Amino acid sequence: MDLGFHHRFEPGQTLASPTLLLLHGTGGDENDLVGVGRSVAPQANLLSVRGRVLENGMPRFFRRFAEGIFDEEDIKFRAQELVGFIAAAAVHYGFDAQRVIAFGYSNGANIAGAILLLHPAALAGAILMRPMVPLVPSFVQDLSGKQILIQAGTADPMGSVSEIERLVILLGKAGAEITVRQHHAGHGLTHEDFVEAQKWLGMYFPGTQEGSE
């Protein structure tokens, strides 16, 4: 069963462990982040999803009009669609729907951000790698208690310093607890990103690391 999305599910130590929701960047698929996910969260369940929108044949999670200019109505639709998939996958595979942490890169980080802003109950937390502001909702949901790690590149032409600041302000006003890590990097990910992600998961989400509960 694809449950509406092409995806991969890799069980962790137990199905009661947290589940890392892996969301690729433009042109990726459900295989891209599985190895990374297992390295940063050795004991977690992994749920890796392929975006359903195609841009010049490349999978994405929502449409855009141009680089950095997003179709906000499509973001709302696709976020709702993905939330439904997470719920269906939790029932199908038997993992805890209350312990899902998004791990998104680029376009995947942006749809994860949209889910946090529009459907915060769907995620326990999120790692947003090279994100942008996906949209500014008319109604701000309560993100109190949500742990979010933002990893930005100082030379990233898309996720500029001002863009990251806007995102931090938006999520912070909603009550999220945000950790920001700036790396000497561009839009691509580095080993440092993965080391920081693993440390952060170990700190806030027991059951993702070896030897943790």
Q: Model confidence over 188-201: pLDDT tens digits?
A: 999 999 999 999 99
Q: What is the DSSP string of 154-183?
A: TT-SSS-HHHHHHHHHHHHHTT-EEEEEEE
Q: On the CB side of 180, how many CA atoms lie within 13 Å of its CA?
A: 17
Assess if residue 48 is contained within a domain.
yes
Indicate whether 129 belongs to any domain: yes
68 token code pair = 């950095």
Which residues are tagged catalytic? Answer: 106, 156, 187
Q: For residues 157 and 187, what is the distance between their CA atoms, to the nearest angstrom?
A: 7
Answer yes or no: is 20 within a domain.
Answer: yes
* pLDDT tens for each residue of 65-100: 998 899 999 999 999 999 999 999 999 999 999 999
Indicate whether 213 belongs to any domain: no
Asked whether residue 2 is assigned to any structural domain, the reply reads no
Sequence-ordered list of residues with C-beta below 8 angstroms from that of 77, at least 6 positions apart, any chain: 62
Q: Is residue 142's pLDDT more than 70?
A: yes
Structurally, the chain folds into a number of domains equal to: 1
* Whether pTM exceeds 0.95: yes
pLDDT > 90? residue 127: yes
CB-based contacts of 144, cutoff 8 Å, min separation 6: 174, 175, 176
Q: Is 153 helix (H, G, I), strand (E, B) or coil?
A: strand
Q: Is the separation of the CB atoms in 71 and 64 below 8 Å?
A: yes
3-state class (DSSP) for residue 197: helix
Question: What is the full DSSP assignment across 45-70?
Answer: EEEEE--SEEETTEEESS-EEETTEE
Q: What is the CATH number of the domain that holds 198?
A: 3.40.50.1820
4-13 pLDDT, tens digit each: 999 999 999 9
For residue 213, the model assigns a pLDDT of 62
In the chain, % of residues over pLDDT 70: 99
Kindly state the average pLDDT of the residues 151-174: 94
Query: What's the pLDDT at 67?
Result: 87
Does residue 209 lie within any of the structural domains? no
Q: Which of 101, 36, 107 is nearest to 67 (CA)?
A: 107
Residue 33: pLDDT band with limits 50, 70, 90: very high
Q: Is 1 domain-assigned?
A: no
- Residue 106 placed within a domain: yes
Quote the DSSP letter at residue 13: S
Domain enclosing residue 186, as ranges: 7-204
Instruction: Give the model confidence (pLDDT) of 42-62 as tens digits.
Output: 999 999 999 999 999 999 999
